[in-house]
Structure 1
């Protein structure tokens, strides 16, 4: 992977939120901490960290795309 790397840990696992005909979709998800000390997994199609990893370049720290 090149470009932006999220500070949140991520892993590839079944994501049961995006089922296709009852089967889980295996995809890369970020583990987001909650204020109560627990964890939530992200929803990759709306996750800001997933979007940043898809579209930002290496060393980029703002949303402005550098060509």
Structure 2
């Protein structure tokens, strides 16, 4: 994961990423695993992101 991607996408949207990950997990370990997996999947597909009305958070919700 590049520093630019982490700073520009992950850190700026950490609240929604946390909310999504917490909603789908019951334990702290599951949350940590899911959070990591979501971040990796976002990184892998960020080149497909197209800024539209919903922006990054709308695109992010497709990974949950």
Using structure 2 for the length normalisation, give the TM-score. 0.30
Hey, which of these two has a bigger chunk of strand by percent?
1
Larger Rg, first or second structure (1 or 2): 1
Higher relative contact order (CA 8 A, sep 6+): 2
Hey, which of these two has a bigger chunk of helix by percent?
2
